[in-house]
Structure 1
Amino acid sequence: MTTVQQWFEALGAVLAEIWRRATTEQPAPEPNVIAGIAIVALVICASPAWPVVRMLITITHEGAHALVSVLVGRRLSGIHLNNDTSGVTISKGRPRGPGMFATLVVGYPGPALYGIVAALLLAAGYAVGVLWLTVLVLGIMLLWMRNLYGLVVIVGVGALAAVASWYLPPVWQSWLAYGLCWILLLGAPRPVVELARHPERGSDADQLGRLTFLPAPGWVGLFLIMTLTAAAGGAWLLLPLGEWFGA
């Protein structure tokens, strides 16, 4: 057997083990633990650690732009992440029309939508699956990253998620997956509030205001409604709110 064959067999074994772990159901933490993780995530989103959290939000925001731009047939040129926690996704295509609209509208709700996907997986028992899905998404984004800072951030976050998914005890993996989900759900509205307080020329809302009949402040309001609704939906999926509040 050649070295190349051995390498491919080893790689296949690793991928098979990743798939096994990602598709193996895990028992959910107790509801009080899940609620505690949510409170910790909310505190983190309101703390001086926000810039770190905001970078996670930005990664998901730009990933949403990139994914939808490809799905609607635009040509994705690259993604940039900046050390001020901002980012930009560049795609080429018609400057107006449904494709451009869809690409722009998904950015701010993107983190909350990914949070909903994570919540659905968690509700089904796939906590490790959430972590490996995140590694996969970051790996795909890495192919389109066009600046050094962005490369370092994506590689760093992806490596941490992969190491945690491989080596941490199952209970810690579960807590980490729930923490990531809550941070995305609860952190997504804050950049929208920041945009409302400090409107930016060229922002997604500004561009949508020029493409549609709804002005930029209206789009900011819609983004806030979407992110808050997603947070409420995630809470409904992850917590027994009906039991707690007698619904």
Structure 2
Amino acid sequence: MAAYRPSAGDDPPATRRGAATSDLLSRSLDAQPAPAHWILVLTGVVALLTVASGRTWPTARHVVTIAHEGGHALAAVATGRRLAGVRLHSDTSGVTVSSGRPTGPGVILTVAAGYTTPSLLGLGASGLLATGRISLLLQILVALLLVMLVVVRNAFGVVSVLVSTVVVLGISWFAADDVQAGFAAYATWFLLLGAVRPIIEVQRQRRQRRARDSDPDQLARLTGLPGAFWVGAFGLLSLGCLATAAAALVV
């Protein structure tokens, strides 16, 4: 009677799936070498040029809008409001619709979350980047984009989020470690720097009286504090996140 010992290729499918999941989780939690100092500086400069350039910003701003509207959506759900959906538009604007009490902390936090989310995401990303959790950072970004894909309600928004997801997923799965590190560093700087420009833009629009329903003006009506106060608060938070991240990454 011949003895039979199954080879690795004969493992049951459930066993192979479990092994693959375990390997993916292990890779996510394992620390990788943090990017070299020159890579952090270079990607920061490239991100700054992306945000400052009139040629690249109109396209790159869509990523900031995804984070902005995602912040509204997350805050709405977290505060018990009913989320109807998110719409992202080709002019880089967006709208998140939720229902619930028209006043109170829930709606205030929901409205305030938009301009604060890109900076907070960037700050969190900088912490993961500084500790070498690059795979985990990229997979968190993919997970957030997939969640966003579920709540988007218009065709352009679906395409915008899907393209972003494919890019991050492709790099996290197929790119070499140094490419992943460079991309993660660039994405971190872009979130931090890209959070600042929309705050400047919304204040410029408010001065020209072209943004009566902007987030700062909605917050002014909800809280009694002037819209300029909220613009200033958003600006201080974004600059604080940028300074904190820069100190952790390059100083």
* TM-score between both structures, scaled by the size of structure 1: 0.91
Q: What is residue 18 of structure 1 aligned with on the other side?
A: 24
1:189 corresponds, among 196, 213, 218, to 196
2-structure distance, mates of 1:14, 1:234: 34
Residue identity matched to 1:215 = P
TM-score (norm 2): 0.89
Does structure 1 retain, via aligned residues, the 8 Å contact 2:58–2:92? yes
Bigger Rg over Cα? 2
- Aligned pair in 2 of structure 1 residues 18, 211: CA closer, same or farther (>3 Å)? same
- Tell me if 1:42 matches 2:48: yes
2:35–2:185: 8 Å Cα contact kept in structure 1? no
Equivalent residues of 2:82, 2:98 under 8 A apart:
yes
Runs of 4+ in 1 over 4 A off after TM superposition: 8-14
Between the aligned partners of 1:14 and 1:226, the Cα distance in structure 2 is 40
Report deviation, 1:33. Answer: 2.0
Q: 1:220 and 2:227 equivalent?
A: no
Where does structure 1 lack aligned partners over 5 or more consecutive residues?
Answer: 242-247
- In the TM superposition, residue 236 of structure 1 has moved relative to its aligned partner by 1.1
Match of 2:107 among 100, 108, 115: 100
Conserved? CA contact 1:53–1:183, under 8 Å = no
Pair 1:75–1:155, CA change in 2 (3 A): same
> Residue 32 of structure 1: CA displacement?
2.4
Paired with 1:10 and 1:136, the residues of 2 have a C-alpha distance of 23
* TM superposition shift of 1:237: 1.5
Residue pair 2:118, 2:192 contacting (<8 A) in 1 also: yes
Match of 1:178 in 2: 185
Provide structure 2 residue ranges, at least 5 long, that are not aligned to the other structure: 1-11
- What's the CA shift for 1:220? 1.0
- Give the total of aligned pairs: 235
Aligned identity (percent) is 41
Give how far 1:60 is off.
0.5
Pairing 1:28–2:34 present: yes
1:18 CA drift (Å): 3.1
Alpha-carbon distance between aligned partners in 2 of 1:117 and 1:11, rounded to the nearest angstrom: 30
Name the Cα RMSD after superposition. Answer: 1.5
Q: 2:161 aligns with which of 154, 164, 184?
A: 154
